[in-house]
Amino acid sequence: MSLNHWVGMGRLVRDPELKTTQSGVAVCNFTIAVDRDYKNGDEKVADFVDCVAWRGTAEFVSKYFSKGRMAVVSGQLQSRKWEDKEGNKRVSWEVQVQNVYFGDSKRDGDSAPVANDPTQVQYTELPDDGSLPF
């Protein structure tokens, strides 16, 4: 048995790129900078993680996330082998995204839904029939 599950939180280093495959499937590429717990002198140290989201998740990321926005990403780590222009064999690592969550609060001008935001919930008053204990 094996387990391949990656979770990370970081800021997008550029706006996500949404594309469509020839068969019409949405795919979104983005990169997050994940800070390490230590500094190199006075400078923060970060890892840059390439992420690939598909279908509805791809559309969600491209609609609600932009450069600088904090994202919590979960998915599976995948390697991809390829050859560069000089014929050297290379390996790239990327996260095949399953879920993306907001890692920061709603910004001014953002139209993204925020979980548990009482201003975005429709409330209906219950009739007082005397059955409630309070």
In a domain, 129, yes or no: no
Q: What residues contact 132, with CB distance under 8 A and at least 6 apart?
A: 126
In a domain, 33, yes or no: yes
Check: CB of residue 20 under 8 Å from CB of residue 27: yes
In a domain, 128, yes or no: no
In a domain, 108, yes or no: yes
- The whole-number pLDDT of residue 40 equals 81
What is the pLDDT tens value at each position of the chain, 134 positions in all?
A: 889 999 999 999 999 999 999 999 999 999 999 999 888 888 889 999 999 999 999 999 999 999 999 999 999 999 999 999 999 999 999 999 999 999 987 665 555 555 544 545 555 666 667 665 55
- The whole-number pLDDT of residue 123 equals 58
- C-alpha 9/C-alpha 70 separation (Å) is 7
pTM for this model (two decimals): 0.74
- DSSP 8-state symbol, 118: G
- C-alpha 102/C-alpha 69 separation (Å) is 8
- What total of structural domains would you count in the chain? 1
Domain of residue 26, residue span:
6-120
- DSSP E strand stretches across 55-109: 70-83, 89-102
